[in-house]
Structure 1
Amino acid sequence: MSMSTTTVPEGFVEHPRQGPYLEHIGPVYVREGGEALVLGLQAEERHTNHRGTVQGGLLSTFADFALGRAIEADADDGKDRATVSLTVDYLKPARPGDWIESRTSVDRVGGTLSFADCSLCVDGREVVRARAVYVTAG
C-alpha cells in the first residue's frame, strides 16, 4: 500500500526544482522558512527492496540531492556544480511509511571544490550518513 502525501508534515512543500529523475522517485519536499535547509521524502512501498526496506540507491540519491542543494544555497553564486565523490554509510533501515528528513552541513565552498555532510533521519534517528565533494562546472 502506498502512502499518500497527506502524511507530509506541516510546513513542507514540494521542492520547485527536482529534475526528471527525482520527480520520478519523489516528490522531494522542502521546509519553508527556518535557517537550515531541511528536505523531506515520504518512503513508500515502491521505494523498497526485496527485504521490504527502503532501497539504498534511493537513500543515496536523496542524500546527493540534499547535499547539492545545501552547497548551492551556501554558495549563492548561481554556478553549476556536479558530484565528484559521494560516500554513503547505511546505519539503520528505513521502511515504507517513514518520513525521511535531511540535515546538511556545508564544510567549505571553494572556487573549484565544495565539501558537505548529510544525515538522513527518521523520527530523530539517523539512518544514513553521507559526505560529498562537488566540483564547480565550467
Structure 2
Amino acid sequence: MTPDDLIPAIHAIVPDAKLVTAAGDVFFMHPDDPNLPLATIVTGDNDWDNASNLAREGVLRVNVGIDRDAFRDLFGDLPKWREPQDAGIDFTRLDVLMPHPMYARLYWISVLNPSPETLRSLRPQLELAFRLAAARVARRLAG
C-alpha cells in the first residue's frame, strides 16, 4: 500500500483525526492536541531513526502509539534494549507488526508496508490511540 492508499484507510478508522504532513510524512493528530501524533506514516530514514531502512524503494512505516497494557498484550514484556540493533528484531521486515525500533519504550508499534489485512488488524490499536489522545486532551482541559 502506498501513502495514498493508507491515508484514507487509516482516516476511515479514526475519522476525527486531523492530518498534518511534513517532509513526506503524515501525522494523524487529535484535533485538539497539536503536539503528539496518535499515528504516523513515515516514508524515509533520518539520522536518529534508520533501523527500518526506509531508504528502500517504496518502503514506508505505519506507527501507532498505544498504552502499556495493549503493548504487553501484543509483545509481552516491555523492551529492554536501548538501541534497535540490540533488540534482536529485524526491523526491516515487511508487513509484520513489531515494536517501534526507537519508540517501543513509549509503547509505539509499527509495521512496514502493511497489507490491507494487516491494516485492518490495526483497527483496535488505532482506535485506542485516538481514545488515549482524547483522554490527554480532557486531562489538560480539566486543569
TM-score (norm 2): 0.28
Which structure dedicates a bigger proportion of its chain to strand? 1
